[in-house]
């Protein structure tokens, strides 16, 4: 049964919300367990984890495994690339990542970097003026079910891939209006810890802190850019391509999901937990209970 991609759900319905964890442990067992919980998406991290591409395939297979059986559960795997400018690694990630799915690029600072990142995800005919730079081996890779998905090249490889760019510094925040308008950028994902580090106030997330004011400024810029992008899309004849700009991010400490998902703030895509953090919290709780 064909399911609607997370990309299309988010872009076609501003009220649709996606919540999920990030996996840093590089454990396929954790990935499989998380896939049974019912999260909308699961972020597999290659930036700060020990994952290489062969282990990433194991993680993706573990997530995909729960989509069959007596109680199938559909999750959208998102892979965070190690960097935004490693074209060869991006190609390898996409060749093992079955759609519907997503890819996230860290540390985007400028619109030029955004354009190069998006171009690395697209086959030449699928990006403006034939400028996609993804290498073409689609009949022989996992992403196309080794050629069985005949719609992979013309449709699924681009229309069902959620392309997420991380904005993680004060300087990058000011460039959101230009970064967000780049063709093919589906989401801006705010990294609160790196943002706080960029202004030398690491982890200071109090409601009135300079860091939170900067994050709220970034959120406003994403909302405004989303409006501009949708206005332009309404004038386009390419109606098969939903367009807009999704606001996403990690959940900072002390901030409620209810506030982030509210209409006023406008998040649609949030990673609110990390597998190792959840395990540590459970372990401390387990130890504390033994000492009562």
- Alpha carbon distance 200, 209 (integer Å): 12
pLDDT of residue 80: 98
pTM for the predicted model, two decimal places: 0.95
pLDDT in tens, 229-244: 998 887 765 555 678 9
Catalytic residues: 48
Q: In the chain, helix, strand, coil percent, each to 5?
A: 45, 15, 40
pLDDT in tens, 60-104: 999 999 988 888 899 999 999 999 999 999 999 999 999 999 999
Q: Judging by DSSP bridges, how do beta strands 187-190 and 18-23 pair with one another?
A: unpaired
- Alpha carbon distance 40, 77 (integer Å): 9
- The residues pairing with 246 across neighbouring beta strands, listed in sequence order, are 187
**Greatest distance between any 2 Cα atoms in the chain:** 67
DSSP 182: S
- Contact status, residue 183 vs residue 128, Cβ threshold 8 Å: yes
> What SS3 string covers 152-176?
HHHHHHHHCEEEEEEECCHHHHHCH
Which residues in the chain come in under a pLDDT of 70? 1-2, 236-241
pLDDT of residue 238: 59
Task: Tell me the backbone φ, ψ of residue 204, rounded to 5 degrees.
Answer: -90, 90
């Amino acid at each position: 049964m064909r399911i609607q991609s997370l990309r299309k759900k988010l872009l076609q319905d501003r009220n649709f919300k996606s919540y999920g964890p990030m996996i840093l442990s590089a454990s396929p067992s954790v990935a499989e367990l998380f896939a049974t919980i019912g999260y909308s998406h699961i972020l597999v991290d290659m930036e700060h984890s020990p994952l290489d591409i062969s282990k990433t395939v194991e993680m993706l297979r573990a997530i995909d495994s729960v989509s069959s059986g007596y109680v199938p559960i559909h999750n959208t795997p998102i892979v965070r690339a190690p960097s935004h400018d490693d074209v060869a690694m991006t190609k390898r990630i996409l060749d093992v990542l079955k759609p519907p799915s997503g890819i996230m690029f860290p540390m985007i600072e400028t619109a030029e970097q955004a354009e190069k990142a998006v171009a690395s995800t697209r086959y030449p005919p699928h990006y403006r003026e034939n400028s996609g730079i993804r290498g073409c081996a689609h009949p022989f890779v996992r992403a196309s079910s080794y050629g069985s998905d005949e719609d992979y090249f013309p449709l699924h490889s681009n229309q069902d891939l959620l392309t997420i760019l991380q904005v993680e510094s004060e300087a990058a925040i000011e460039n959101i209006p230009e970064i967000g308008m780049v063709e093919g950028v589906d989401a801006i994902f705010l990294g609160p810890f790196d943002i706080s580090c960029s202004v030398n106030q690491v982890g200071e997330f109090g409601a009135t802190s300079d860091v939170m004011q900067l994050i709220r400024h970034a959120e406003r810029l994403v909302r405004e850019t989303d409006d501009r992008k949708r206005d332009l899309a309404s004038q386009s004849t390419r109606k098969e391509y939903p367009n807009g700009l999704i606001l996403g991010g990690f959940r900072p400490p002390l901030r409620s999901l209810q506030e982030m998902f509210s209409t006023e703030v406008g998040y649609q895509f949030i990673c609110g937990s990390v597998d190792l953090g959840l395990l540590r919290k459970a372990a401390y709780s387990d130890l504390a209970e033994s000492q009562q």
